[in-house]
Amino acid sequence: MGTRRVILLRHGQAQPEAPELEDLDRRLTERGKREAECIGRLLVARGLVPDCLLASPAERTRATIRFVASCCGLDPGSVVCVPELYLAGPEALWSVLAARDSSRMCVLICGHNPTLSQLASRLGEPARRRELPTAGLATAVWDCADWTGVQPGDAQDCAFAAPGDGADFEPGSYSA
């Protein structure tokens, strides 16, 4: 047995959609960069440095997770780009998590809404609607032998935070 933690992180604020720009190529705005750095510092301050970094192939998610990795003292080259995380539904995202090696104890997944908010809403009991803002995150803990035994509703110690909301990253500190 062991304590497993997942961190669901929505990417920082991105350039608006534009006809001449592919969605996958949208970059972070200056605000999005600041948001990503803020969340990285928050994770370090709370001792929540992940040992596995997964990101959608979209430029905005890869940039967000690179800022977070840098703040956490991790090699940005250790980020694993997972194509299934782009436009994935909650079940597809959860299957990516379940496939993680059992040696990984803290997995950070950087992706998109509405999927991340839908999953954050399912964490713990009772389930309740949560909308993650840009660079908002949800984290939860399970006591199990490997990732295949992890189910959203069984999560313990759920916490939510967003940059600039004054959250102290305690259970229930972020509310939609």
Total residue length of the chain: 176
pLDDT at position 76 is 85
Rounded to whole angstroms, the Cα distance separating 34 from 17 reads 20
**pLDDT, mean of residues 40-60:** 95
CATH of domain 3-10+23-161: 3.40.50.1240
pLDDT band at 70 (very low <50, low <70, confident <90, very high): very high
Q: What's the confidence (pLDDT) of residue 165?
A: 57
- Residues 172 and 160: beta-carbon distance below 8 Å: yes
- What pairs with residue 6 in β-bridges? 107, 140
pLDDT at 15: 96
Residue 34 confidence (pLDDT): 94
Instruction: Tell me what pLDDT residue 1 has.
Output: 61
pLDDT tens digits, 121-162: 999 988 889 999 999 999 999 999 899 989 999 999 899 998
**42 alpha-carbon distance from chain centroid:** 13
pTM for the model: 0.91
pLDDT of 97-128, one tens digit each?
Answer: 999 999 999 999 999 999 999 999 999 988 88
Spatial neighbors of 171 by CB under 8 A, at least 6 apart, are: 157, 158, 159
Nearest to 141 by CA among 165, 126, 162, 124: 124
Question: For residue range 73-101, what is the model confidence (pLDDT) as tens digits?
Answer: 999 889 999 999 999 899 999 999 999 99
Q: Which residue has the higher pLDDT, 171 or 114?
A: 114
